[in-house]
């Protein structure tokens, strides 16, 4: 079962169990998927669905930070729950140690030696960790190694 089918099945299950938060979250993700399908005029592949899921999580995390700054715990709790729901569809996330190993390998592969090479390392690295790590964490790890 691909990601799109899994989202459809889980949406149906959320309707049956009357889980409103899960249902609305999956609907938002499916809406973003449908918009991209319309733009591309074809069905999406799993890697494109992963991009959408990653983007949706990033949006929720950014909103979560803003809600916490504003002291809106009610909205922050909702955003946290949405992040957890969307994260169920992403591959297992890499640990910091795994990220460091992959970053070091990529730096060796690309021959990077200074901060000027960050772009080259990131462009090689991001396809390797797609959907399994936050880009911000990856960027910080690369900068740490290329001082």
Band (pLDDT 50/70/90 cuts) for residue 7 is very high
Instruction: Give me the torsion for CA of 6, 29, 81, 94, rounded to 10°.
Output: 70
pLDDT at 96: 87
pLDDT at 22: 95
Q: Distance between CA atoms of 90 and 49, rounded to whole angstroms?
A: 10
- N- to C-terminal Cα separation, the chain: 44
Note the pLDDT tens digit of each residue in 20-34.
999 999 999 999 999
**Domains, the chain:** 3-87 (1.10.1510.10), 96-145 (1.10.10.410)
pLDDT at 116: 86
Report whether pLDDT(1) > 80.
no
Among 46-55, 60-69, 118-127, 129-138, the least confident range? 129-138
Number of continuous H segments (helices) and E segments (strands) in the chain: 7, 0
């Amino acid at each position: 079962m691909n990601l799109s089918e899994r989202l459809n099945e889980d949406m149906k299950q959320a309707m049956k169990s009357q889980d409103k938060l899960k249902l609305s979250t999956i609907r938002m993700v499916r809406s973003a998927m449908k918009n991209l399908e319309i733009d591309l005029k074809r069905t999406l592949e799993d890697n494109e669905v992963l991009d959408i899921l990653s983007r949706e999580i990033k949006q929720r995390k950014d909103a979560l930070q803003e809600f916490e700054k504003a002291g809106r715990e009610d909205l922050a709790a909702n955003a946290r729950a949405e992040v957890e729901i969307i994260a169920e569809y992403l591959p297992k996330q890499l640990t910091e140690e795994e990220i460091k190993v992959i970053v070091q390998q990529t730096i060796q592969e690309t021959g990077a030696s200074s901060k000027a090479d960050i772009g080259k390392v990131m462009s090689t690295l991001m396809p390797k960790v797609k959907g399994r790590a936050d880009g911000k964490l990856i960027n910080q790890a690369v900068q740490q190694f290329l001082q």
